[in-house]
Amino acid sequence: MPPPSDIRMQDSSPPKRRAGGRQARHRHRAIGPPNPAPPGQIGGQYQPLTEPQMRAIYDTARRLLDRLGMGDVPDRLRDDLVKAGARGSGARVTFPEPLVEDAIAGAAKRFWLHGRDKGRSIEVGGDAVHFGTGGAAVQTLDLETGLYRPSTLRDLHDFTRLQDTLTNVSWFTRCCIATDLPDTFALDVNTAYALIRNTTKPTATAFTLAKNVAPIMSMLERAAGPEGFAARPFMKAHISPVISPMRYGEDAVDVVYECIRHGIPISCITAAQSGATAPATLAGFLAMSLAETLASLVMVHAIKPGFPMIFSNWPLVIDLRTGAFAGGGGEIAVLNAASAQLSNWLGLPSGVASSMTDAKAIDAQYGAEKGITALAAGLAGGNLVYESAGMTASLLGASFEAFVLDDEMLGAVYRILRGIEVTEDTLAYDAICATVLGEGHFLGASQTQDAMERDYLYPRLADRMTPSAWADAGAPTAWQRANAEARRILETHHPGHLDPETDAAIRAAFPMILPA
């Protein structure tokens, strides 16, 4: 693959002039402007760690696995790990360095997360950056009252169909927990159904228990149609098989086995917290959390080498004054950026997190924390950046307004990642000379018209009015504009991405709570 600068030069060739001049351009824009920076832009420009620092962190992680190892290893996993080359004679299982290196070498480096709409599939790995969602919010910011209330299954359906319209959200993981469901099976089944009914993007869910995987898999097979799920898996599983510090969780490990058996791609998430379940020093945190995520990779390698796994190493921060999770700030931004850099350095498909603001309202704190953390993760080259849209209140809340605002913010991040293309045409020497000696401005120049469509991202919600025009419009806030946009989408977008026959069959087979 050529270096990023070469990719940009290749992509920057000016578009061919369209016949018909200005009128043709107006007709073209009436259809809808092209996206100057779609998802999948190239990251890696921000590197918080030097090469020797990465080597030191990696060496410490390998030493932790080789000498300390993992505790609470289920018997089935212990047997598979020992067969793969681990040492398991004591209470803990340790991983010799050659085993860790074999797991890295044999890992799936690039693979597709499929959408049921093939045009929405994304390839994971390399340098491409995609922002998506995550979270398990138990509260929703109500569109009517502007206050938080328990999240419901209806909210999950609404969030799913809302994001179905958002360009810069590449995949959808359920963002809230339906607290109104009676048991874990109903929760898992109705969550998966909400995803396949309301979006054709790649999706992700969680399985509370391993026994829930097989029945939900039968639902996914129905939705896949004749092609079958295995041909194009359109849902992945979010699993946290490691409990910090340095031990496995048996229920989650059982889910890993079931997902691998059914061919469901997995995102193995490590989510240690600084000063609580991980060291408070940032370097020590990165070393231990890298070791833990490598333990997940070795586990997958021992079960089925090369099975698609997102290396999801999410460093989380707590406020050491209070013990509360802190989703926004410089420390969590640099830690997730460093995690992405380390994963990419190892050649593994990286998953990190951003936009986990501590703000409860759509306010200045919200915007600052979201923008800082999303930009850092994108610039560092996180392949999949989770939690990046919709989340509020340190992941306790989800907001419809936040989804539409964050989508626009992520578009700006993609535009930053695209960078600046420098070619003979874009340097504009001839255009500068012609303008200086001619009309004296660039407004009507053909090059300006082309650049307008090729290089500039125009927000729909951000306010660029003059103060007087803003006052005449009623002085709307960002929250008010986002509220109106979210309402508009929810009132008009009712996708129903399952054909009636399949939908009826799924409803007959499973305990669906909401009426059709």
pLDDT tens, position by position, 441-498: 999 888 998 899 899 999 999 999 999 999 999 999 999 999 999 999 999 999 989 9
Averaged confidence pLDDT in the chain = 93
For residue 406, count other CB atoms closer than 10 A to its CB: 32
Classified as helix, coil or strand, 173 is strand
Cα 139 to Cα 366: distance, rounded to the nearest angstrom: 17
Alpha-carbon distances, residue 370 vs 330, 380, 414, 448 (angstroms): 11, 15, 14, 32
State the average pLDDT over residues 417-429: 95
Give CA–CA dist 406/437, Å, rounded. 44
Query: CA 342 from chain center: how many Å?
Result: 18
Q: pLDDT exceeding 90 applies to what percent of the chain? A: 90
Closest CA to 232 of 196, 263, 256, 193: 263
Q: How many residues make up the chain in this entry?
A: 516
d(CA 210, CA 292): 21
Q: What is the pLDDT of residue 32?
A: 59
Q: At what angle do helices 330-345 and 364-380 cross, to 10 degrees?
A: 20
Phi-psi region of 174 (alpha: psi -120 to 50; beta: other; left: phi over 0): beta
Domains of the chain: 105-418 (3.20.20.480)
Mean pLDDT of 425-444: 93
Query: For residue 219, what is the enclosing H or E element?
Result: helix 213-224
- Check residue 70 and give left, alpha or beta (phi > 0: left; psi -120 to 50: alpha): beta
CB-CB neighbours of 273 under 10 Å: 18
